[in-house]
Structure 1
Amino acid sequence: MAEEHKLAHDAPTPGAIGEIEELKIEIVELLKDAAVKFPVKNKNELKNLFPPGTKMACRVGGKETHFDELAETLGTDDFPLEDAPAVASKILSRCSLT
């Protein structure tokens, strides 16, 4: 019997990918509405954009993680973030797709 590849169950579903795209749009709109000045130079600046208790959360594949928690996972090499789409992409790159 052939062994099943361990990534067979880790592929993102079309629904999960669509959810990520919707969240990207929401983040970009929030940042534009807040008139955020770019670039975002470090983790502390990013965390100030998404304070603890931010109602919007990364809810993908049944796992919920708030943006301030995701910001904590970024390192110095992830900065600067030059615009709203870059912020959205970087934050959501830390979300689970499965």
Structure 2
Amino acid sequence: MSVKEEIHAQIVGALAGAKFPIETPEALLGAFPDGAETTCKSGDVELKAGDAGKVLTADDFPFKSAKEVADVIVDRAGL
């Protein structure tokens, strides 16, 4: 599994219990188990949920699924 695939899977897993749609960045952070401190790791790559705010825009919302969140984050994070 590539770093991108591993991080993607971890994001989807972290949001498994979230209620969708998620309408705001604050609601998205609140959906992660440890909020902004939720960390996904693969090899030397570490990505915190709080860092997602740097790559997401208001136009990205609402998110309809955990897969959609993960798709956008890993794509924009340049993994």
- Cα deviation code 1:2-47 (max 9, x no counterpart): xxxxxxxxxxxxx8xx111112122212222xx2110111111112
Task: Answer yes or no: is 1:28 the counterpart of 2:8.
Answer: no
Shift >6 Å, 4+ stretches: none
How much has 1:95 moved relative to structure 2?
1.4
Aligned mates of 1:22, 1:92 — CA distance in 2: 10
Matches within 5 A, 1:57-76: 57=41, 64-76=46-58
Instruction: List runs of 5+ in structure 1 lacking aligned partners.
Output: 1-14
Residues 72 and 47 of structure 1: is their aligned pair in 2 closer, same or farther, counting only changes over 3 Å?
A: farther
**TM-score, structure 2 as length reference:** 0.74
CA contact (8 A) 1:40 1:81 kept: yes
Residues 65 and 23 of structure 1: is their aligned pair in 2 closer, same or farther, counting only changes over 3 Å?
A: closer
Larger radius of gyration: 1
Aligned mates of 1:47, 1:72 — CA distance in 2: 12
**TM-score, structure 1 as length reference:** 0.62
Q: Specify which structure has the higher proportion of helix.
A: 2
Aligned mates of 1:76, 1:68 — CA distance in 2: 15
Residues 72 and 95 of structure 1: is their aligned pair in 2 closer, same or farther, counting only changes over 3 Å?
A: closer
Q: Which amino acid aligns with 2:66?
A: A
Instruction: List runs of 5+ in structure 2 lacking aligned partners.
Output: none
Q: Which residue of 2 aligns with 1:80?
A: 62
Q: Percent identity?
A: 30
Q: Which residue of 2 aligns with 1:46?
A: 28
RMSD of the alignment, in Å? 2.3
